[in-house]
Amino acid sequence: MAGELRDNRGRGEAEWSWPAIHPEGRKFGLFAAGIALAVLLILDWEIIGWPLLLLSFGVFAFFRDPERVVPQGDDVIVAPADGLVTLITQVPPPPELQGPDGAGHAGLGAEPVTRVSIFMSVFDVHINRAPVGGTVRRVVYLPGKFLNADLDKASEENERQHILIERPDGRPIGFTQIAGLVARRIVPFVKPGDIVAAGQRIGLIRFGSRVDVYLPQGTDAKVLLGQTVIAGETVLAELGRQQLIEGVNQ
């Protein structure tokens, strides 16, 4: 369902509201709250019950699903995850995203491209969003280890899921959901053949993780190492735009 149109001339409405809790997380929050209430009301163990009740609120907060205003533009690639940009490096795309598939749809090349890695702590929103609009061509799940998602080798060794979206102009954009030290499950919301809009929810990773985005050749990142980005709102790059961007830590 399309959201309300907002622009830079004041059209639209702005109001604060509690973020929704994604259905995937409600069962975990209710389970934690049930245990806490049982400890408090039945066993009367307040020293344990109150921390458990506080933990249940934390579980609900982890699965919060706030609305986002997605910037519009034919060449815009938006951040697929909330979190900290921890790596920007030149690497070949994963083999699972390279080359055409059996149906004749193009994949990524084997040449090195810019990979932007976004690390999500347990305090970040963990709903992942499509960096571009188009047709989902590949969803490839790979089991693996549960190393610290902040490590570079997590891209090749951890449990992960590769997704390839073909834009309306035929250009493919690939990204990868990576489970981390605490994360234990990647939950997809899309499958091959689905048509998605930029910023649309495409999945989540439970309890701390990382998302890698592979920018096409000739495209530089518009974010910096150490920058905090917002899924569906922060512009990660613009197709075909190369520019050195510098910032100063303060």
Measured in degrees and rounded to the nearest 5, phi and psi for residue 32 equal -65, -40
- Find tokens 């830590």 and name the residue: 249
CA 161, CA 183: separation in Å to the nearest integer? 13
Cα gap 112→130, rounded to integer Å: 22
Are the C-beta atoms of residues 240 and 219 closer than 8 Å to each other? yes
Q: Which of 56, 117, 155, 209 is catalytic?
A: 209
β-pairing verdict for 186-188 and 195-196: unpaired
For residue 72, give the amino acid letter. Q
Contact between 130 and 202 under an 8 Å Cβ cutoff? The reply is yes
Which DSSP category does 27 fall into?
H
Q: Could you confirm whether 155 is annotated as catalytic?
A: no
Give CA–CA dist 179/136, Å, rounded: 21
CB 184 within 8 A of CB 207: yes
- Indicate which residues carry an active-site annotation: 209
